[in-house]
């Protein structure tokens, strides 16, 4: 990865470059561990709620009961979006859901009383509002593009349950709500992932939180980052039957094509987030009497086992796609669910960046020509 060119040490892709310290999350790639503010992701996925984990990430400690009550209330009270935002969503309804979300967050900035304010308190206030409103934008867009009116948020439901309700029009049962909550917890933050880095770069210029989140969302959309879950489910549908798995993978390997849902820039062991969604997918498939997708994906996982020797193991997106699919969520919304979870992660990292800011400004080594002679346009051949 490191190349010496004319005395300059190039670190392409900034791999293995540490640019800042953090107390938010730690990805321990060789053993497959993920820690949020000192707590193991497995403990949080099993025992915490999304709201409590968001509090932990943006405030730095687990809340007391009264702190959590207050925090949950502020999230619930901020869920509704203004009619002007709904109008913006309507006017771009045919775009990809992530482009609509990016546009929606830009539009939120136009109405937020704190948009230009970059103090810690203002960023936290905005962060709570944006975290609460991202699910509303995603759900409103999905209903509008299907010719339906957006559903108002239901304050009796938690963050995950209300999101599913606004999106699908039915109140989810307790197990489904819990599974979606877990999914959101494990996707919340992930060290210097590409989109959180993009959000930090924007924040390091003292740009505001809405701008930083728009940069994050734009970066998350790429298939090498947030887009892989969609690719995994496309692959499962293309395979169609467990008997076709081997032939499908052989053909992919022959063409040197990547298998979506495997490999990671940091993990060389199994991504710890995958475990919770594998189990969720299995239970959901069983409950719905639809074992086929779980069986196909389990077979893909088994056939890909030799790749683990090269550090190419299953990642979070391998199982999340099947969970969303079984919940009846269309594939082009999979990345938006990632965004619902990751936005408070951006807030936590932007707060850290702002609290101890330094402009992020690396170098590019120029390797182009240096002595070209400018020829006026009329004289060029």
Q: Is 186 in the site for ligand CMC (CB under 6 A)?
A: no
Which CB, 228 or 297, lies closer to ligand CMC? 228
Tell me, yes or no, if 317 is annotated catalytic. Answer: yes
The CA distances from residue 136 to 164, 177, 202, 304, in Å, are 10, 16, 25, 38
Residue 74, Ramachandran bin (φ over 0: left; ψ between -120 and 50: alpha; else beta): alpha
When CB distances to ligand CMC are compared, the closest residue is 263
Q: Strands, DSSP E only, in the chain?
A: 2-5, 8-11, 25-28, 33-36, 39-40
Q: Is 217 in the site for ligand CMC (CB under 6 A)?
A: no
The one among 190, 200, 221, 278 contacting ligand CMC by CB under 6 A = 190
DSSP of 241-252, one letter per residue? SGGGHHHHHHHH
Which CB, 148 or 224, lies closer to ligand CMC? 224
- Give the count of residues interacting with ligand CMC (CB under 6 A): 17
Q: Which two tokens stand for residue 175?
A: 């197990």
Q: Is 262 in the site for ligand CMC (CB under 6 A)?
A: yes
Report, in Å, the least distance between residue 230 CB and ligand CMC.
Answer: 10
CA dihedral 211, 227, 270, 58 (to 10 degrees): 20
Q: Is 193 in the site for ligand CMC (CB under 6 A)?
A: yes
Span of 45-53, 57-65, 205-213, 314-322 interacting with ligand CMC by CB under 6 A? 314-322
CA count, 13 A, side-chain hemisphere, 7: 0
Tell me, yes or no, if 159 is annotated catalytic. Answer: no
Which CB, 195 or 204, lies closer to ligand CMC? 195
Q: Is 260 in the site for ligand CMC (CB under 6 A)?
A: yes
- To 5 degrees, how large is the angle CA 311–CA 44–CA 222? 50
Which CB, 109 or 259, lies closer to ligand CMC? 259
Q: Find the catalytic residue in 317, 332, 355, 371.
A: 317
Instruction: State how far the Cα of 238 lies from the Cα of 248, in Å rounded to an integer.
Output: 9
Q: Is 48 in the site for ligand CMC (CB under 6 A)?
A: no
Report, in Å, the least distance between residue 264 CB and ligand CMC.
Answer: 5
Report, in Å, the least distance between residue 338 CB and ligand CMC.
Answer: 8
Q: Which two tokens stand for residue 85?
A: 């935002």
Q: Is 225 in the site for ligand CMC (CB under 6 A)?
A: yes
Report, in Å, the least distance between residue 193 CB and ligand CMC.
Answer: 6
DSSP of 159-186, one letter per residue? HHHHHHHHHHSS---HHHHHHHHHHHHH
Q: Is 275 in the site for ligand CMC (CB under 6 A)?
A: no
The CA distances from residue 227 to 57, 145, 248, 318, in Å, are 24, 21, 21, 11
Instruction: State how far the Cα of 57 lies from the Cα of 61, in Å rounded to an integer.
Output: 7
Q: Is 317 in the site for ligand CMC (CB under 6 A)?
A: yes
Instruction: State how far the Cα of 261 lies from the Cα of 254, in Å rounded to an integer.
Output: 18
Which CB, 165 or 248, lies closer to ligand CMC? 248
Give the 3-state DSSP-derived string for 300-367, with helices as H, strands as E and coil as C.
HHHHCHHHHHHCCCECHHHHHHHHHHHCCCCHHHHHHHHHHHHHHHHHHHHHHHHHCCCCCCCCCCCC
Q: Find the catalytic residue in 187, 225, 264, 276.
A: 264
Report, in Å, the least distance between residue 99 CB and ligand CMC.
Answer: 19
Span of 60-68, 77-85, 155-163, 312-320 interacting with ligand CMC by CB under 6 A? 312-320
Map residue 5 onto helix, strand or coil: strand
Span of 62-70, 254-262, 287-295, 368-376 interacting with ligand CMC by CB under 6 A? 254-262
Give the residue numbers annotated as catalytic, written as ranges: 264, 317
Binding site residues, ligand CMC, CB under 6 A: 190, 193, 224-225, 228, 258-265, 312, 315-317
């Amino acid at each position: 990865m490191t190349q010496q060119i004319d005395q300059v040490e190039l670190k392409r892709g900034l791999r293995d470059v540490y640019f800042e310290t953090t107390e938010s999350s730690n990805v321990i790639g060789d053993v497959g561990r993920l820690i949020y503010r000192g707590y193991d992701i497995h403990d949080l996925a099993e025992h915490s709620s999304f709201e409590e984990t968001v509090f932990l990430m943006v405030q730095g400690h687990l809340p007391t009961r009264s702190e959590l009550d207050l925090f949950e209330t502020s999230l619930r009270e901020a869920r509704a979006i203004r009619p002007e935002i709904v109008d913006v969503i309507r006017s771009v309804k045919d775009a990809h859901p992530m482009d609509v979300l990016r546009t929606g967050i830009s539009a939120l900035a136009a109405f937020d009383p704190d948009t230009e304010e970059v103090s810690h308190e203002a960023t936290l206030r905005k962060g709570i509002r944006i975290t609460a409103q991202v699910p509303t934008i995603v759900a409103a867009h999905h209903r509008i593009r299907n010719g339906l009116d957006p559903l108002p948020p239901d304050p009796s439901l938690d963050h995950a349950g209300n999101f599913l309700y606004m999106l699908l029009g039915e109140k989810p049962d307790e197990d489904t709500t819990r599974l979606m909550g877990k999914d959101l917890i494990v996707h919340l933050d992930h060290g210097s992932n590409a989109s959180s880095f993009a959000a930090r770069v924007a924040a390091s210029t003292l740009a505001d939180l809405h701008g930083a989140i728009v940069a994050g969302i734009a970066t998350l959309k790429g298939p090498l980052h947030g887009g892989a879950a969609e690719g995994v489910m496309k692959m499962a549908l293309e395979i169609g039957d467990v008997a076709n798995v081997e032939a499908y993978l052989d053909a992919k390997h022959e063409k040197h094509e990547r298998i979506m849902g495997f490999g990671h820039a940091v993990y060389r062991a199994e991504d710890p987030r995958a475990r919770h969604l594998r189990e969720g997918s299995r239970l959901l498939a069983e409950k719905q009497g639809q074992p086929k997708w779980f069986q196909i994906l389990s077979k893909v996982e088994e056939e890909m086992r030799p790749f683990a020797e090269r550090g190419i193991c299953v990642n979070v997106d391998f199982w999340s796609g099947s969970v969303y699919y079984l919940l009846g969520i269309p594939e082009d919304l999979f990345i938006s669910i990632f965004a619902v979870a990751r936005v408070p992660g951006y807030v936590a990292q932007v707060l850290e960046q702002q609290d101890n800011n330094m402009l992020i400004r690396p170098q590019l080594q120029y390797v182009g020509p240096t002595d070209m002679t400018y020829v006026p346009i009329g004289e060029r051949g």
